[in-house]
Amino acid sequence: MDEEPERAKRWEGGYERTWEVLKEDEFGSLKATVEEILFQSKRKRALESHGQVRLGMMRHLYVVIDSSRTMEDMDLRPNRLKATLKLMEAFVEEYFDQNPISQVGLITTKNKRAEKLTELAGNPKKHLAALKKARDAACVGEPSLYNSLNLAMQTLKHMPGHTSREIVVIFSSLTTCDPANIYELIKTLKSLKIRVSVIGLSAEVRVCTVLTRETGGTYHVCLDESHFKELLMFHVKPPPANAQSECSLIRMGRCAHVCFSQTLKHSQTHLDSTSEVGLSLGGYFCPQCHAKHTELPVECKICGLTLVSAPHLARSFHHLFPLEAFRETPLEELPADRFCHACQGKLKDKIVFTCPFCSGVFCTECDLFIHDSLHCCPSCINSQHSN
């Protein structure tokens, strides 16, 4: 386990003179420097792109949330557990927005045991309801890393080979109580190609370092709440696929929604839940066996066909065809009085962005919007169309 050289720790390096970054202008104000720093941090996220790497689109992700005694610590407001649960709700929504055909499951660990909060499912409603209910839970005892990883592994090892199997652990305690040797479990996880990442809330723990290094995940310790959010949102993007993962053709059925159906049918998905009323008017019918389901994407319980709708697949297309980053040009190089091609606003910033393909000029806000949400250049659509 110790063959790879350890990373140099931060205190072993030289001193970092952080006070030299801030420079005052002639009036003594720091406004320009602060704006510059904010601007750089906004751009940093937009510039990371995987290029031509194959991404794992269909993901099965388990999130393990530590619910032990240390989560009652109040260094994150109001306490660590509530802050984590709130960020998890945002994470679940964002996750299903970026990966519509993937699934997520939740596990909590406390009192030396691990418990599944929700099963792996493709629809966010159940997860959000479970997260809201978990806010009132008490934090007792010690977490068990072995038990939670084992529980996740039991389900993940049956998943088909073309999907990516991931576990994200939010670990705040410095200790763990395991019934068996965790290094054996790490070997098993590695052989099953399960990628484990850890987000630490207290300090770096050696066993987590080894775990993430062996399975190919990432390990970060959060500094404050915004850093925690950033680390969590990092896992929303699809990771590069393993070289050994199999590619296969998946049989899927495409469903159209039928509104106001004439007969009330008992929906298949309601057979399991006891809290909802069993009858509903509209729904989705499986094209193979015509069983009725209330939500998509789902696997039909009768015939086993995966059911999706076309927008679900279309949402993932922007990962496959990512937009190139725009070139930065200073405003002085352009002829005076130019307007942003997208929003028609006057260009006031010092730096403007030019698309390398169509030479369209955009302001900072439009550039951020184009790269974050739109994923296509408005002027390029015009030039593509005329060809």
Partner 1 sequence: MSGDRYELNLLVIVMDVNPIWWGQQAQREPEFTLSKCLDAVMVMGNSHMAMTTTNRLAVISSHFQDSHFLYPCKNWTGGDGAWDGTMDEAPYCGDGKYELLSVANNVVAEEMKRVMSTTEMKGNSTDTLLAGSLAKALCCILLQKIVTFFSAGQEMKSRILVIKTAEDCARQYMNFMNVIFAAQKQNILIDACVLDSDSGLLQQACDITGGLYLKIPQKIALAQYLLWVFLPDLEQRPQLVLPPPVHVDYRAACFCHRNLIEIGYVCSVCLSIFCNFSPICTTCETAFKIQLPQMMKSKKKKLKQSI
Given a contact cutoff of 8 angstroms between Cβ atoms, the answer to whether 293 and 283 are in contact is: yes
* Binding window for partner 1 (CB under 8 A); candidates: 7-15, 68-76, 206-214, 312-320: 312-320
**Interface map 45-74 toward partner 1 (x if CB under 8 A):** ---------x--xx----------------
Cα gap 188→357, rounded to integer Å: 48
Any contact of residue 287 with partner 1 (CB under 8 A)?
A: yes
Cα gap 230→251, rounded to integer Å: 35
Residue 33, judged by CB atoms within 10 A of its CB (0-12, 13-18, 19+), counts as: middle
Any contact of residue 247 with partner 1 (CB under 8 A)?
A: yes
Look up residue 164 and give its two tokens: 């990516």
Cα gap 343→261, rounded to integer Å: 43
Lookup result for tokens 């660590």: 80
- The correct pick among 34, 174, 192, 314 for binding partner 1 (CB under 8 A) is 314
Any contact of residue 331 with partner 1 (CB under 8 A)?
A: no
Any contact of residue 252 with partner 1 (CB under 8 A)?
A: yes
Question: Could you tell me which residues are beta bridge partners of residue 26?
Answer: none
> Toward partner 1, which CB reaches closer, 43 or 319?
319
Question: Could you tell me which residues are beta bridge partners of residue 378?
Answer: none
Cα gap 167→114, rounded to integer Å: 14
> Toward partner 1, which CB reaches closer, 216 or 287?
287
- The correct pick among 1, 8, 259, 336 for binding partner 1 (CB under 8 A) is 259
Cα gap 346→362, rounded to integer Å: 10
- The correct pick among 141, 216, 240, 253 for binding partner 1 (CB under 8 A) is 253
Q: What is the DSSP letter of 91?
A: H
Residues in 146-165 that interact with partner 1 by CB under 8 A: 161-163
Any contact of residue 168 with partner 1 (CB under 8 A)?
A: no
Any contact of residue 375 with partner 1 (CB under 8 A)?
A: yes
Interacting residues with partner 1 (CB under 8 A)? 54, 57-58, 97, 161-163, 241, 246-259, 287-288, 305, 309-311, 313-318, 320-321, 337, 339-346, 365-366, 369-370, 373-376, 378-379, 381-387
